[in-house]
Amino acid sequence: MLALAFSGGKDSMACLHLLREQLDFAIFVDTGFTYPETHAMVDYAASLIKTVHVVLSDRSGQNLAQGIPADVVPVEWTAMGQSMTCPKSVTVQSSISCCYENLALPLLKKAKELGVTHLAYGQRREEAHRGTARHGDCVDGIIRLHPVENWTTPQVFEYLATKMTIPAHFALTHSSLDCYDCTAFAKTSQDRIDWTKAQYPDYDHAYQIRANALHHALQEAR
């Protein structure tokens, strides 16, 4: 059984079009903080293939327990660190743990529940943030497929242009737009932050509150 890990971004969209005739279904994880543009891509995907399974993750609860995500984590500000020292004004967790628990893990659990044997991802070698699995690897009993693994960004756009009208937000580095208040991936998120400020002031306000809290925690931990 072949499924697509669909994020709504440009790379998973390219995979959707490439594998459209072969897919049994796609799986999308909704964090509860997803942008409207991504929801629109999920609706678009549902118009192309028979089924898109939407999985709701408890990002609010996970962040409440484990903290806001950061690229640099002061250990005493983590949930475990505070249990060993003293309570802090803000709790911080690594970006890896946040993405894994709120996106990757719910998706994998759903894939197993549905009996998926092959799971396609839009991961590319060109990306700075990518997993260790490669095309054809077996991870926890499921074969990983990376149809666009060796594609460049221009190649992705060239292909998509033959299949659809490319949404403006696909020009953003993180085009999947999982969480509007994400405080991680600082090196590659400035275009998303600026775009959010212009398009969604309320989302930007929520982001700024968390970003300021993280900044103060990092300053205090120095």
207: exposed, middle or buried (Cβ count in 10 Å: 0-12, 13-18, 19+): buried
Radius of gyration in angstroms for the set of CA atoms belonging to the chain, rounded to a whole number: 18
pLDDT tier for residue 116 given thresholds of 50, 70 and 90: very high
Indicate the residue type of 22: Q
Longest Cα separation, the chain: 57
Residue 177 CA: distances (Å) to CA of 35, 52, 143, 195? 6, 18, 26, 11
pLDDT tens column, 22-51:
999 999 999 999 999 999 999 999 999 989
pLDDT tens column, 182-221:
999 998 999 999 999 999 999 999 999 999 999 998 888 7
Residue 102 φ/ψ, nearest 5 degrees: -100, -15
Residue 187 CA: distances (Å) to CA of 64, 174, 193? 25, 11, 11
Q: Domain 2-221 adopts which CATH fold? A: Rossmann fold (3.40.50)
Domain boundaries, the chain: 2-221
